[in-house]
Amino acid sequence: MHQKQATERLEPTDYDGDGRRSTFAIIAIPLLLMVQGCTSVALKEGGTLSSYNQLSPSKGKFTKTRTFVDAQGLSGVRTVAILPSTFSPDAAIRIKTSQDRALVSNALDRAVCVSLSDKFQLVPTGQPADLTIRAVVTDIVATNKTMAGVSTAVSLGSSLALPVGIPRLPMGLGGLAVEAEAIDSTGIQRAAVVWSKGANSITNNARVSEVGDAYSLASDFGKYFSRILVTGKEPKGVDLSLPSAQRLNSALGGKPKYAACDAFGRSPGLVGIVADKVGAPPQWTDKEPRTPAQQYKGALVRLGAVRSAGPQPDEGRAYCRYPPQPSCVRPTCRFRNCGPVMLRQSSLSSVGPSNETQRHIRFWECT
Protein backbone atom coordinates (compact mmCIF):
# COMPACT_ATOMS: atom_id res chain seq x y z
CA MET A 1 0.00 0.00 0.00
CA HIS A 2 2.74 2.41 0.97
CA GLN A 3 4.69 1.37 -2.11
CA LYS A 4 1.70 2.16 -4.34
CA GLN A 5 1.26 5.62 -2.78
CA ALA A 6 4.96 6.33 -3.26
CA THR A 7 4.68 5.34 -6.88
CA GLU A 8 1.67 7.61 -7.32
CA ARG A 9 3.57 10.48 -5.72
CA LEU A 10 6.56 9.96 -8.02
CA GLU A 11 4.54 10.02 -11.26
CA PRO A 12 3.81 13.76 -11.24
CA THR A 13 7.45 14.46 -10.47
CA ASP A 14 8.56 12.34 -13.42
CA TYR A 15 6.03 14.09 -15.65
CA ASP A 16 7.25 17.53 -14.63
CA GLY A 17 10.81 16.51 -15.42
CA ASP A 18 9.78 15.26 -18.86
CA GLY A 19 7.90 18.51 -19.42
CA ARG A 20 10.94 20.57 -18.55
CA ARG A 21 13.09 18.47 -20.82
CA SER A 22 10.57 18.87 -23.66
CA THR A 23 10.45 22.63 -23.17
CA PHE A 24 14.23 22.79 -23.18
CA ALA A 25 14.34 20.75 -26.39
CA ILE A 26 11.81 23.04 -28.07
CA ILE A 27 13.99 26.05 -27.28
CA ALA A 28 17.40 24.47 -27.75
CA ILE A 29 16.87 22.69 -31.07
CA PRO A 30 16.04 25.84 -33.09
CA LEU A 31 18.95 27.67 -31.46
CA LEU A 32 21.27 24.78 -32.28
CA LEU A 33 20.06 24.75 -35.87
CA MET A 34 20.60 28.48 -36.17
CA VAL A 35 24.14 28.24 -34.85
CA GLN A 36 25.13 25.18 -36.88
CA GLY A 37 22.91 25.83 -39.93
CA CYS A 38 24.31 29.20 -40.89
CA THR A 39 26.52 30.14 -43.83
CA SER A 40 29.62 32.09 -42.86
CA VAL A 41 30.53 34.92 -45.23
CA ALA A 42 33.78 36.74 -44.57
CA LEU A 43 33.98 40.53 -44.53
CA LYS A 44 35.61 41.63 -47.74
CA GLU A 45 37.02 44.95 -48.89
CA GLY A 46 36.07 45.36 -52.51
CA GLY A 47 38.17 48.46 -53.10
CA THR A 48 35.16 50.55 -54.15
CA LEU A 49 34.84 52.85 -51.11
CA SER A 50 36.54 56.22 -51.22
CA SER A 51 38.14 55.39 -47.87
CA TYR A 52 38.37 52.47 -45.44
CA ASN A 53 40.48 54.32 -42.87
CA GLN A 54 37.63 55.32 -40.56
CA LEU A 55 35.83 51.99 -40.43
CA SER A 56 35.51 50.34 -37.04
CA PRO A 57 37.03 46.94 -36.24
CA SER A 58 34.97 43.93 -37.29
CA LYS A 59 31.96 43.21 -35.09
CA GLY A 60 29.33 40.50 -34.92
CA LYS A 61 29.16 36.75 -35.39
CA PHE A 62 26.17 36.09 -37.63
CA THR A 63 26.06 39.57 -39.15
CA LYS A 64 29.60 40.91 -39.50
CA THR A 65 30.12 44.66 -39.88
CA ARG A 66 32.67 47.43 -39.99
CA THR A 67 31.06 50.85 -39.87
CA PHE A 68 31.73 54.56 -39.95
CA VAL A 69 29.23 57.38 -39.50
CA ASP A 70 29.67 61.13 -39.20
CA ALA A 71 26.54 62.16 -37.30
CA GLN A 72 27.34 65.84 -37.46
CA GLY A 73 27.97 65.68 -41.20
CA LEU A 74 24.59 63.99 -41.72
CA SER A 75 22.65 66.47 -39.59
CA GLY A 76 22.04 68.91 -42.43
CA VAL A 77 21.08 66.35 -45.08
CA ARG A 78 17.70 66.87 -46.69
CA THR A 79 17.91 65.24 -50.13
CA VAL A 80 19.38 61.85 -51.06
CA ALA A 81 20.13 60.17 -54.39
CA ILE A 82 20.84 56.44 -54.76
CA LEU A 83 23.12 55.10 -57.46
CA PRO A 84 22.02 51.65 -58.67
CA SER A 85 24.07 49.07 -56.80
CA THR A 86 26.52 46.92 -58.74
CA PHE A 87 28.44 43.64 -58.42
CA SER A 88 32.19 43.35 -58.14
CA PRO A 89 33.73 41.10 -60.82
CA ASP A 90 34.36 38.34 -58.25
CA ALA A 91 30.75 38.43 -57.07
CA ALA A 92 29.25 38.68 -60.55
CA ILE A 93 30.78 35.41 -61.77
CA ARG A 94 29.12 33.49 -58.93
CA ILE A 95 25.62 34.17 -60.29
CA LYS A 96 24.89 32.95 -63.81
CA THR A 97 22.31 35.41 -65.11
CA SER A 98 22.12 39.20 -65.14
CA GLN A 99 18.41 38.92 -64.26
CA ASP A 100 19.26 37.22 -60.97
CA ARG A 101 21.89 39.83 -60.18
CA ALA A 102 19.37 42.57 -60.94
CA LEU A 103 16.92 41.01 -58.47
CA VAL A 104 19.47 41.32 -55.67
CA SER A 105 20.51 44.84 -56.65
CA ASN A 106 16.94 46.11 -56.88
CA ALA A 107 15.95 44.52 -53.57
CA LEU A 108 18.92 46.19 -51.89
CA ASP A 109 18.33 49.63 -53.43
CA ARG A 110 14.59 49.45 -52.84
CA ALA A 111 15.09 48.70 -49.15
CA VAL A 112 17.47 51.65 -48.80
CA CYS A 113 15.19 54.01 -50.73
CA VAL A 114 11.99 53.15 -48.88
CA SER A 115 13.63 53.19 -45.45
CA LEU A 116 15.34 56.54 -46.04
CA SER A 117 12.03 58.04 -47.19
CA ASP A 118 11.00 58.24 -43.53
CA LYS A 119 13.45 61.11 -42.99
CA PHE A 120 14.87 62.35 -46.29
CA GLN A 121 13.58 63.41 -49.68
CA LEU A 122 14.71 60.91 -52.32
CA VAL A 123 15.59 62.37 -55.72
CA PRO A 124 16.42 60.64 -59.02
CA THR A 125 20.02 59.70 -59.69
CA GLY A 126 21.89 62.61 -61.23
CA GLN A 127 19.84 65.39 -59.69
CA PRO A 128 21.58 67.64 -57.15
CA ALA A 129 21.44 65.99 -53.72
CA ASP A 130 22.96 66.57 -50.30
CA LEU A 131 23.96 62.92 -50.13
CA THR A 132 24.63 60.24 -52.73
CA ILE A 133 24.61 56.54 -51.84
CA ARG A 134 26.39 53.79 -53.69
CA ALA A 135 26.65 50.11 -52.83
CA VAL A 136 28.59 47.20 -54.29
CA VAL A 137 27.99 43.48 -53.76
CA THR A 138 31.49 42.20 -53.04
CA ASP A 139 30.68 38.53 -52.45
CA ILE A 140 27.72 36.21 -52.81
CA VAL A 141 27.15 32.58 -51.91
CA ALA A 142 24.61 31.01 -54.22
CA THR A 143 21.72 29.05 -52.74
CA ASN A 144 21.68 25.38 -53.67
CA LYS A 145 18.38 25.11 -55.54
CA THR A 146 18.08 21.34 -55.13
CA MET A 147 18.53 21.48 -51.37
CA ALA A 148 16.18 24.45 -51.15
CA GLY A 149 13.50 22.43 -52.93
CA VAL A 150 14.00 19.42 -50.68
CA SER A 151 13.93 21.59 -47.58
CA THR A 152 10.73 23.32 -48.67
CA ALA A 153 9.04 19.97 -49.32
CA VAL A 154 10.09 18.64 -45.91
CA SER A 155 8.99 21.80 -44.07
CA LEU A 156 5.63 22.04 -45.81
CA GLY A 157 4.96 18.32 -45.49
CA SER A 158 5.83 18.22 -41.80
CA SER A 159 3.64 21.25 -41.08
CA LEU A 160 0.63 19.25 -42.32
CA ALA A 161 1.42 16.24 -40.14
CA LEU A 162 2.92 17.86 -37.05
CA PRO A 163 1.90 20.76 -34.80
CA VAL A 164 5.10 22.59 -35.78
CA GLY A 165 6.85 22.25 -39.14
CA ILE A 166 10.45 21.08 -39.37
CA PRO A 167 12.80 24.06 -39.86
CA ARG A 168 14.78 24.51 -43.02
CA LEU A 169 17.50 21.91 -43.52
CA PRO A 170 20.91 23.45 -42.72
CA MET A 171 22.44 22.65 -46.09
CA GLY A 172 22.94 24.64 -49.28
CA LEU A 173 22.42 28.00 -47.59
CA GLY A 174 23.41 31.23 -49.35
CA GLY A 175 25.08 34.43 -48.18
CA LEU A 176 25.88 38.00 -49.14
CA ALA A 177 28.60 40.61 -48.58
CA VAL A 178 28.13 44.29 -49.42
CA GLU A 179 30.02 47.53 -48.96
CA ALA A 180 28.42 50.95 -49.27
CA GLU A 181 29.06 54.58 -48.55
CA ALA A 182 27.25 57.91 -48.44
CA ILE A 183 29.07 60.84 -50.03
CA ASP A 184 27.99 64.46 -49.57
CA SER A 185 27.82 67.07 -52.32
CA THR A 186 31.45 68.08 -51.71
CA GLY A 187 32.72 64.51 -52.10
CA ILE A 188 33.28 63.84 -48.39
CA GLN A 189 32.41 60.40 -47.02
CA ARG A 190 29.78 60.78 -44.31
CA ALA A 191 28.98 57.12 -43.67
CA ALA A 192 30.31 53.76 -44.80
CA VAL A 193 29.86 50.09 -44.01
CA VAL A 194 31.40 46.76 -44.93
CA TRP A 195 28.79 44.08 -44.18
CA SER A 196 28.32 40.34 -44.58
CA LYS A 197 25.71 37.85 -43.50
CA GLY A 198 24.88 34.22 -44.16
CA ALA A 199 21.41 32.71 -44.29
CA ASN A 200 20.31 30.45 -41.43
CA SER A 201 17.79 27.67 -41.01
CA ILE A 202 15.40 29.59 -38.76
CA THR A 203 14.90 33.10 -40.10
CA ASN A 204 15.49 32.56 -43.84
CA ASN A 205 12.98 30.51 -45.79
CA ALA A 206 14.33 28.26 -48.53
CA ARG A 207 13.57 29.55 -52.03
CA VAL A 208 14.33 27.57 -55.17
CA SER A 209 16.67 30.09 -56.76
CA GLU A 210 20.41 30.73 -56.86
CA VAL A 211 19.75 34.12 -55.31
CA GLY A 212 16.95 33.01 -52.98
CA ASP A 213 18.95 33.83 -49.85
CA ALA A 214 20.89 36.77 -51.30
CA TYR A 215 17.58 38.38 -52.30
CA SER A 216 16.36 38.26 -48.70
CA LEU A 217 19.70 39.32 -47.25
CA ALA A 218 19.92 42.28 -49.63
CA SER A 219 16.86 43.76 -47.94
CA ASP A 220 18.47 43.14 -44.54
CA PHE A 221 21.52 45.11 -45.62
CA GLY A 222 19.42 47.94 -47.04
CA LYS A 223 17.56 48.35 -43.78
CA TYR A 224 20.78 48.15 -41.75
CA PHE A 225 22.57 50.86 -43.73
CA SER A 226 19.45 53.04 -43.71
CA ARG A 227 19.33 52.91 -39.91
CA ILE A 228 22.87 54.26 -39.82
CA LEU A 229 21.93 57.22 -42.00
CA VAL A 230 18.61 57.95 -40.30
CA THR A 231 19.88 57.75 -36.72
CA GLY A 232 23.43 58.92 -37.30
CA LYS A 233 24.85 56.05 -35.28
CA GLU A 234 25.73 52.39 -35.53
CA PRO A 235 22.68 50.13 -35.03
CA LYS A 236 22.55 48.14 -31.81
CA GLY A 237 20.53 44.94 -31.75
CA VAL A 238 17.31 44.20 -33.60
CA ASP A 239 15.12 47.08 -34.71
CA LEU A 240 11.84 46.53 -32.85
CA SER A 241 10.19 49.80 -33.91
CA LEU A 242 6.93 49.64 -35.85
CA PRO A 243 7.21 50.48 -39.56
CA SER A 244 5.88 53.86 -40.70
CA ALA A 245 2.75 54.08 -42.83
CA GLN A 246 4.74 54.70 -46.00
CA ARG A 247 7.05 51.76 -45.36
CA LEU A 248 4.08 49.48 -44.71
CA ASN A 249 2.40 50.69 -47.89
CA SER A 250 5.55 50.03 -49.91
CA ALA A 251 5.97 46.58 -48.33
CA LEU A 252 2.48 45.70 -49.55
CA GLY A 253 3.39 46.71 -53.09
CA GLY A 254 1.96 50.22 -53.01
CA LYS A 255 3.28 53.39 -54.58
CA PRO A 256 6.41 54.64 -52.80
CA LYS A 257 6.51 58.00 -51.06
CA TYR A 258 8.97 59.34 -53.62
CA ALA A 259 8.91 58.50 -57.33
CA ALA A 260 12.69 58.00 -57.30
CA CYS A 261 12.16 54.69 -55.49
CA ASP A 262 10.17 53.35 -58.44
CA ALA A 263 13.48 53.05 -60.30
CA PHE A 264 14.14 49.94 -58.20
CA GLY A 265 10.75 48.30 -58.66
CA ARG A 266 8.01 47.75 -56.13
CA SER A 267 7.73 45.09 -53.47
CA PRO A 268 5.73 42.00 -54.50
CA GLY A 269 3.50 42.58 -51.46
CA LEU A 270 1.28 39.81 -50.14
CA VAL A 271 1.93 37.65 -53.19
CA GLY A 272 5.64 37.84 -52.43
CA ILE A 273 5.06 36.90 -48.79
CA VAL A 274 3.12 33.79 -49.82
CA ALA A 275 5.77 32.91 -52.42
CA ASP A 276 8.46 33.18 -49.77
CA LYS A 277 6.59 30.78 -47.49
CA VAL A 278 6.17 28.12 -50.17
CA GLY A 279 9.72 28.42 -51.52
CA ALA A 280 8.88 29.97 -54.90
CA PRO A 281 11.74 31.75 -56.67
CA PRO A 282 11.67 35.54 -56.19
CA GLN A 283 11.76 35.85 -59.99
CA TRP A 284 8.13 34.74 -60.07
CA THR A 285 6.82 37.67 -58.07
CA ASP A 286 9.41 40.46 -58.10
CA LYS A 287 9.21 42.01 -61.53
CA GLU A 288 11.96 44.15 -63.03
CA PRO A 289 11.50 47.92 -62.70
CA ARG A 290 9.79 49.57 -65.59
CA THR A 291 12.04 51.03 -68.25
CA PRO A 292 12.39 54.81 -68.52
CA ALA A 293 10.01 54.75 -71.48
CA GLN A 294 7.37 53.06 -69.35
CA GLN A 295 7.97 55.21 -66.29
CA TYR A 296 7.81 58.50 -68.13
CA LYS A 297 5.15 57.81 -70.73
CA GLY A 298 4.46 60.92 -72.75
CA ALA A 299 7.95 62.27 -72.12
CA LEU A 300 10.19 59.53 -73.54
CA VAL A 301 10.50 57.82 -76.89
CA ARG A 302 12.41 54.61 -77.41
CA LEU A 303 14.87 53.92 -80.14
CA GLY A 304 12.58 51.32 -81.70
CA ALA A 305 10.15 54.12 -82.53
CA VAL A 306 12.79 56.65 -83.61
CA ARG A 307 14.41 57.33 -86.94
CA SER A 308 16.79 60.25 -86.52
CA ALA A 309 17.82 62.70 -89.20
CA GLY A 310 21.46 61.76 -88.67
CA PRO A 311 23.23 58.40 -88.37
CA GLN A 312 21.24 55.73 -86.58
CA PRO A 313 22.45 55.48 -82.93
CA ASP A 314 23.14 52.26 -81.12
CA GLU A 315 20.41 50.12 -79.59
CA GLY A 316 19.47 50.88 -76.00
CA ARG A 317 19.37 54.67 -76.25
CA ALA A 318 16.51 56.72 -74.92
CA TYR A 319 15.48 60.32 -75.45
CA CYS A 320 14.03 62.75 -72.93
CA ARG A 321 12.15 65.77 -74.24
CA TYR A 322 14.13 69.00 -73.86
CA PRO A 323 13.59 71.26 -72.03
CA PRO A 324 12.71 68.58 -69.48
CA GLN A 325 9.07 68.29 -68.53
CA PRO A 326 8.16 67.93 -64.82
CA SER A 327 7.79 64.18 -65.37
CA CYS A 328 10.96 63.90 -67.43
CA VAL A 329 14.05 65.29 -65.77
CA ARG A 330 17.27 64.53 -67.62
CA PRO A 331 18.93 62.43 -64.86
CA THR A 332 15.94 60.09 -64.69
CA CYS A 333 17.41 58.37 -67.74
CA ARG A 334 19.32 55.58 -66.05
CA PHE A 335 22.10 55.71 -68.60
CA ARG A 336 25.40 57.51 -68.79
CA ASN A 337 26.79 60.19 -71.08
CA CYS A 338 23.65 62.28 -71.42
CA GLY A 339 23.72 65.16 -73.89
CA PRO A 340 21.42 67.15 -76.19
CA VAL A 341 20.53 65.86 -79.66
CA MET A 342 18.29 67.10 -82.46
CA LEU A 343 15.69 64.78 -83.98
CA ARG A 344 13.17 65.36 -86.74
CA GLN A 345 9.59 65.57 -85.50
CA SER A 346 8.40 63.87 -88.67
CA SER A 347 10.57 60.85 -87.92
CA LEU A 348 9.45 60.38 -84.32
CA SER A 349 6.77 57.98 -83.25
CA SER A 350 6.17 59.59 -79.89
CA VAL A 351 3.88 58.60 -77.06
CA GLY A 352 3.54 62.29 -76.20
CA PRO A 353 1.17 64.95 -77.59
CA SER A 354 0.64 64.63 -81.33
CA ASN A 355 0.00 68.31 -82.05
CA GLU A 356 3.66 69.35 -82.19
CA THR A 357 4.36 71.81 -84.99
CA GLN A 358 8.15 72.12 -84.76
CA ARG A 359 10.11 70.36 -87.47
CA HIS A 360 12.98 69.70 -85.10
CA ILE A 361 12.77 69.01 -81.38
CA ARG A 362 15.66 68.97 -78.98
CA PHE A 363 16.03 65.92 -76.73
CA TRP A 364 18.44 64.62 -74.14
CA GLU A 365 20.09 61.52 -75.53
CA CYS A 366 21.10 59.03 -72.83
CA THR A 367 23.38 56.10 -73.61
φ and ψ at residue 68, rounded to 5 degrees: -145, 135
Same domain? For 177 and 114 the reply is: yes
Residue ranges making up the domain that contains 50? 38-284
Q: Which comes out higher in pLDDT, residue 319 or 131?
A: 131
What is the domain count for the chain? 2
Q: For 220, what's the count of Cα atoms within 13 Å in the CB-facing half-sphere?
A: 21
Tell whether the model's pLDDT for residue 364 goes beyond 70. no
Mean confidence (pLDDT) of the chain: 75
> What does the pLDDT look like over 132-186, one tens digit per residue?
999 999 999 999 888 888 887 887 777 676 677 677 788 889 999 999 999 999 9
pTM over 0.75: no
Work out the pLDDT band at 258, boundaries 50, 70, 90: very high
Residue 10 lies in a domain: no
Answer with the one of 227, 253, 284 that is the final residue of a domain.
284
Same domain? For 155 and 298 the reply is: no
The pLDDT value recorded for residue 238 is 78
Residue 8 lies in a domain: no
Q: Which comes out higher in pLDDT, residue 364 or 222?
A: 222
Answer with the one of 249, 284, 319 that is the final residue of a domain.
284
- C-alpha 113/C-alpha 82 separation (Å) is 7
Residue 68 lies in a domain: yes
- In this structure, the number of other CB atoms found within 10 A of the CB of residue 239 comes to 14
- C-alpha 203/C-alpha 206 separation (Å) is 10
DSSP H or E segment with residue 289: none
